[in-house]
Amino acid sequence: MFKSKTSKIAGVLLLSASMLLSACGKGGDKETSGSAKNALEQIKSKDKIVIGVKYDTRLFGLKNPSTGEVEGFDIDISKELAKDLVGDAKKVEFKEVTSKTRIPMLNNGDIDAIVATMTISEERKKEADFSDVYFDAGQSLLVKKGSPIKGLEDLKKGTKVLAVKGSTSAINISQKAPDTTVLEFENYTEAFTALKAGKGDALTTDDSILYGMVDQDSNYELVGGTFTDEPYGIAVKKGNEELVDAINSALKKMKENGKYDEIHKKWIRSN
Amino acid sequence: MDIAGALSFDHLKFLAAGFKVTLYIAFISIILSFIIGVVFGTLRYAKIPFLSKVVAVIVETIRNLPLLLIIFFTYFALPEVGLKLSPSTAAIAALTVFESAMLAEIVRSGLNSIDKGQKEAARSSGLTYIQTLWTVVMPQALRRMVPPIVSQFISLLKDTSLCVVIALPEFMHNAQIIYAQNINYIFPIFAVVVFMYFIVNYCLSLIARRLENRQA
Amino acid sequence: MLDFSILLNNLDTYLEGFKNTVLASIIALLGSFIIGVIVAVMRIAPIKPLNWIGSAYVEFIRNIPLLVIAFFFYYGLPAIGVTLPAFVAGTIALAIYTASFIAEAIRAGIQSVPKGQMEAARSSGLTYLQTMRTIILPQAIKIVIPPIGNQFINLVKNSAILGMIAGLDLMYFGDLVSSRTFVTFPVYIFVAMFYLVLTIPLSLGVGYLERRLARSN
């Protein structure tokens, strides 16, 4: 264990150094390894599924510092998934991802799947395989109550909008409101803390995530409705049709037996 | 400000769990970077043709880059060339690479500070180069190096906080999760964070000072 | 080979970040030098309370992470009504942090001049300040320059902390390019090169000064 870690680190040292020096890069195209083909069997044989979820997104995936547990819509969906794939809702291990770290973690093999408020997009389909849509979100704006910003049209030159690195909303907002200044943060915790600290006029991301922030601090409200469609999907490593199929059939079962509605009702408040 | 709410028992327990990760990552990285730093520093000092030059270029390149960039690089860029690491391994690897380079420089200048005459005397009394280095030069140099090496260890411990960018569940990361719940927690939580880092690092620096005085 | 199109396509972004990194470094460099000198003077002045304040500053600041200081200025201060833009908050944090190391380097340099010289000069009729200016400081400067130079190199590297609070520096924009394009390896290599453009000449300069000063002794 220790030995392999040291040799790994020695590898990093040599590799990063030689890479930096020779500056020749991009060795090896992004191939999917042979073992990845049997991702579904791998999950079954280790009798556990490892899922990447958010730890900082209220209602979807939030680490509760008091209990040490992660809670939310994505968490309950993941548990149902585990029940279907490995036969027990408890046989799921959660690992924290952020919008930026989730695809590297999936490709690293740290996690088997991503259930983390992840929008299915054409760009991302090049990086990972997606299940069917399991939640429909849309991008919106969060402002302090009484803010002059009532919608997208109020985002003018000089307005500061806060977003999260690696999220689709960061890209969308600079297209929908090109004059506004966008400031991007590592995660939602930092972005919302920045909004509360008065570092920006609005925070933009999916309405589902914003509702969680309102739930936490009622001095803030959503404005302007939704202006994009953000269909959430479950992502797995590229080239794993069997796993995608298995996830899709699990999702279908959840919807048929009422479990999905139950989870939806538990976490999502419709306005 | 909500001091009682911020510093509830559960929150403190959660912070302690983060601090344990910080100490663990720092400890492993300190050991590894000390070994690599001594080896690389010595190689550079020894002026072995070609090898010492290569080591010098590696050390100088890494030493002149921001650690934050090395962390990003290790975690986000290395997978592109096939090297995939978990957050904790990536954290240890990045810290080790960076701090080894910093330590190598300390070791090299420590070795250089030893009077050349001693080396010549030892050699002429029949010791081999390696023996001279190991039994005459290195022990004296290491003693001189203690203060800068310990302050580098302190830097390393502080620098673990940067691993928050790769979602390593360390001290700062757990602090963020707590103050994200309520803006009124931010001051008390910051106070705890500052206090903990300060206590550990201050103790380290006191130890360094004691070692320094003992030699003097 | 390295894919240069990513650099060329995002050159404006890189340059904007580079400019801000240089700007933050220069401002923080001046700031940290001024604070560092003041704190060092407090530590060695023959007035006890000043010594305590100076020591407390150095011991406190250099034992906590720069990230915590930057977060404090950016996220913490608004809780008491002070809202600073990220660039300003980050640059102040950088100056305050580096100042503690500079103060320590200056103090060590001044105190390395033998005490007897101060006593001799004082007994020959010079005032404390005159002795400092004409006897102690000229000797101390030689010892102090290399460590201060190293602190400036550290400062340039540490300025990457601005990237953590959306401070619009090289690290921030580099990170943004990678999260937009999903390209990581070349993006970060180019960021590294921009930093090296700043730090390698500084390192060589400090090394050169160090050798020259050593020879002049």
pLDDT tens digits for B18-47?
A: 999 999 999 999 999 999 999 999 999 988
Q: Which of B34, B51, B157, B163 minimizes the C-alpha distance to B102?
A: B34
Proportion of chain C in helix, strand, coil states, percent, rounded to 5:
85, 0, 15
- Regarding whether A261 and A157 lie in a shared domain, the answer is no
Query: Is the distance from CB of C140 to CB of C110 less than 8 angstroms?
Result: yes
Residue C146 contacts by C-beta under 8 Å, 6 or more apart in sequence?
C206, C209, C210, C213
For chain B, the domains span 3-215
Query: Is the distance from CB of A183 to CB of A173 less than 8 angstroms?
Result: no
**Rounded Cα gap, residues B153 and B203, in angstroms:** 12
Q: The tokens of A83 are what?
A: 């029940």
Contact with chain A for residue B79, Cβ under 8 A: yes
Q: How far is B126 from chain C (nearest CA, A)?
A: 31
Contact with chain A for residue C124, Cβ under 8 A: no
Select from A13, A22, A54 the residue whose CB has the most chain B CBs within 10 Å, as the one to mutate to test that interface: A13
**Rounded Cα gap, residues B137 and B123, in angstroms:** 11
Has residue A189 been placed in a domain? yes
The domain total for chain C is 1
A159-201 residue pLDDT tens: 999 999 888 898 899 889 989 999 999 888 889 989 988 899 9
Concatenated DSSP letters of A144-190: ETT-S--SGGG--TT-EEEEETT-HHHHHHHHHSTTSEEEEESSHHH
**Rounded Cα gap, residues A178 and A171, in angstroms:** 10
Please indicate whether, in this complex, the C-beta atoms of C159 and B66 are within 8 angstroms of each other.
yes
The whole domain housing C207 covers: 5-216
Of A76-80, A105-109, A233-237, B151-155, the range with the lowest mean pLDDT is: A105-109
Higher pLDDT, B33 or A26: B33
Q: What is the pLDDT of residue C96?
A: 97
- Regarding whether A82 and A41 lie in a shared domain, the answer is yes
| Rounded (5°) CA angle B127-B131-B137 | 105
Higher pLDDT, B171 or A171: B171
Question: A165: which chain C residues are within 8 Å (Cβ-Cβ)?
Answer: 175-176, 179
CATH number at residue A81: 3.40.190.10
Report the DSSP pairing between strands A139-144 and A202-206: antiparallel
Rg (CA), chain C: 21
Please indicate whether, in this complex, the C-beta atoms of A6 and B70 are within 8 angstroms of each other.
no
Q: From A17, which residue of chain B is nearest by alpha-carbon distance?
A: B58
B51-62 residue pLDDT tens: 999 999 999 999
- Regarding whether A206 and A149 lie in a shared domain, the answer is yes
**Rounded Cα gap, residues A257 and A262, in angstroms:** 10
Please indicate whether, in this complex, the C-beta atoms of A11 and B183 are within 8 angstroms of each other.
no
Complex ipTM, two decimals? Answer: 0.90
pLDDT band per the 50, 70, 90 thresholds, residue A235 = very high
3-state DSSP assignment of residue A140: strand
Question: Is the pLDDT assigned to residue C178 strictly greater than 90?
Answer: no
Please indicate whether, in this complex, the C-beta atoms of C185 and B77 are within 8 angstroms of each other.
yes
Question: Is the pLDDT assigned to residue C142 strictly greater than 90?
Answer: no
All partners of chain B with 3 or more CB pairs under 8 angstroms = A, C
The whole domain housing A123 covers: 36-136+232-267
CATH code at B3-215: 1.10.3720.10
- Regarding whether A147 and A121 lie in a shared domain, the answer is no
Contact with chain B for residue C98, Cβ under 8 A: no
Query: Is the distance from CB of B91 to CB of B160 less than 8 angstroms?
Result: yes
The domain total for chain A is 2
